[in-house]
Amino acid sequence: MASTTPSITLHFFIFFFSCILLIFSSIISSTIPITLPTAQTFKEAPKFYNSPSCATIIHHHNDTCSDIAVHVALTLDVAYLRGSMAAILSVLQHSSCPENIIFHFVSAASKPSSATVLNHTLTTSFPYLKFQIYSFNDGAVAGLISTSIRSALDCPLNYARSYLANLLPLCVTKIVYLDSDLVLVDDIAKLAATPLGSDTVLAAPEYCTANFSAYFTPSFWSNPSLSATFAGRRPCYFNTGVMVIDLRLWRAGDYTMRIQEWMELQKRMRIYELGSLPPFLLVFAGRIVPVDHRWNQHGLGGDNFRGLCRDLHPGPVSLLHWSGKGKPWARLDANRPCVLDALWAPYDLLQTPFALEA
């Protein structure tokens, strides 16, 4: 299926769909509340086919190692499954070569029953999806996690992105990592093709106007040996929810251990407040390839405290990211959607009593 390029029709779509959502919400709220079942059921997604210009992956006993494929990694858990399913659908729908995408999902080892549910859900909704699920030792990582400003950030699975190089097969040498609270509206192959060069480990959306010092405590900056960490660098905040990673260089540099060492120091003295992000900044800030901001229209979930509605940032859009406290599926269920949640809703595969079959 050919990729779609965002255009000025995006704003018309926002207006039109938000009107539909508001009408629907008012009807439902005036009758009966929506109560979702504990076990979520998802619709089957359509199958998407490669365009004629796509290279063909020669099927071996292990397609996971294809160097033609675009390799995509996401974490999977029951709490964020609805977001993950929408993200998967958006990736496939806007790809020119959807059959050449291989997904690598990471789930918590402490919840083996959840892994079974997740595998069943994926195979039912995406029967033709190429994927593997990897078990992440979240229990071992839990002991390294310090409390942050928001409890959701303290989930061990949030730290799985630091361990991808250890979890995935050695034959997987480049990966696109995506958070579960986003959707793509452009071809992921363009993002995956971000040139990293011969010595750069990762690419990510970088924001040099952000107050970088705010990501670390006064104790960090007042310690000469710690603050010297960024000497010789021009460190900027970058978003770890959208990354392109060279796994060969990551493994060669043992960057998992470097990140873990900062987490161990954080347990002894508090040097940051914001979950899994600061260790990435300590290791990589000022040493990444910046990704065009079109690949991370971020902050749509609002801030980490109130989750208020936000507008799009100026410029083109290839990826919409509901980073922050508010999530579109929760606001839709509560009949209090933000306007931009209308852009997430078409990718929602959740089967509800009110779902309309095509």
Does residue 256 contact residue 141 with C-beta atoms inside 8 Å?
A: no
| Domain ranges for the chain | 70-297
104, 72 contact by CB (below 8 A): yes
Query: Where does the pLDDT of residue 3 fall: very low under 50, low under 70, confident under 90, or very high at 90 and above?
Result: very low
CATH topology of domain 70-297: Spore Coat Polysaccharide Biosynthesis Protein SpsA; Chain A (3.90.550)
| Rounded Cα gap, residues 296 and 321, in angstroms | 6
Locus of tokens 């303290």: 154
Instruction: Over range 75-101, report the average pLDDT.
Output: 96
**Which pLDDT score, from 0 to 100, does residue 140 have?**
86
Structural tokens at position 289? 């390839």
Mark out the alpha helices in the chain (DSSP H runs): 9-29, 81-93, 112-125, 138-142, 164-167, 188-192, 218-222, 224-227, 247-253, 255-268, 277-284, 328-333
Give the per-residue pLDDT at 142: 87
- 290: helix, coil or strand? strand
Select from 316, 340, 319 the least CA-distant residue to 7: 316
What distances in angstroms separate CA 184 from CA 273, 295, 340, one per listed residue?
29, 8, 14
* This prediction's pTM: 0.86
Q: Is the dihedral of CA 34, 297, 85, 44 positive or negative?
A: positive
What average pLDDT does the segment 335-346 reach?
94
Confidence of residue 333 (pLDDT cuts 50, 70, 90): very high
Q: How confident is the model at residue 354 (pLDDT cuts 50, 70, 90)?
A: low
- Residues 254-261, mean pLDDT to the nearest whole number: 97
Tally of CB atoms within 10 A around 244: 23
What per-residue confidence (pLDDT) applies to 208? 96
Mean pLDDT of 215-224: 96
- Contacts for 144 with CB less than 8 Å, ≥ 6 apart: 159, 260, 263, 264, 267
**Residue of higher predicted confidence among 71 and 62:** 71
245 with 280: CB under 8 angstroms? Answer: no
Identify the band that residue 154 occupies on the pLDDT scale cut at 50, 70 and 90: confident
Q: Is the pLDDT of residue 222 over 80?
A: yes
Residue 189 scores a pLDDT above 50:
yes
pLDDT digits over 115-132, tens only? 889 999 999 999 999 999
Say yes or no to pLDDT of 182 above 60: yes
Give the model's confidence band at 58: pLDDT under 50 very low, under 70 low, under 90 confident, else very high: confident
What pLDDT was estimated at residue 357?
A: 52
Closest CA relative to residue 94, chosen from 183, 186, 189, 180 = 186
pLDDT band at 56 (very low <50, low <70, confident <90, very high): confident
d(CA 356, CA 312): 29
State mean pLDDT over 61-84. 89
Tell me, what's the pLDDT at 120?
94
Q: Which residues pair with 133 in a beta bridge?
A: 105
How many helices (DSSP H) and strands (DSSP E) are in the chain? 12, 10
- pLDDT for 62: 62
Instruction: Compute the C-alpha angle 167/270/257, nearest 5°.
Output: 25
**Which pLDDT score is estimated for 147?**
73
pLDDT, mean of residues 15-24: 48
Q: What is the pLDDT of residue 115?
A: 84
Closest to 82 measured CA to CA, from 158, 181, 176, 186: 181
pLDDT value of position 150: 59
Q: Quick check: 128 and 100 in contact, CB under 8 A? A: no
pLDDT at position 111, please? 85
The per-residue pLDDT of the chain, averaged, comes to 87
Alpha carbon of 67 to those of 75, 203, 207: distances in Å? 22, 19, 31
The pLDDT of residue 302: 86
**Residue 134 host element (H or E):** strand 130-136
**Is 307 in contact with 152 (CB distance < 8 Å)?**
no
pLDDT tens for 268-309 read 999 998 789 999 999 999 999 999 999 999 999 987 667 689
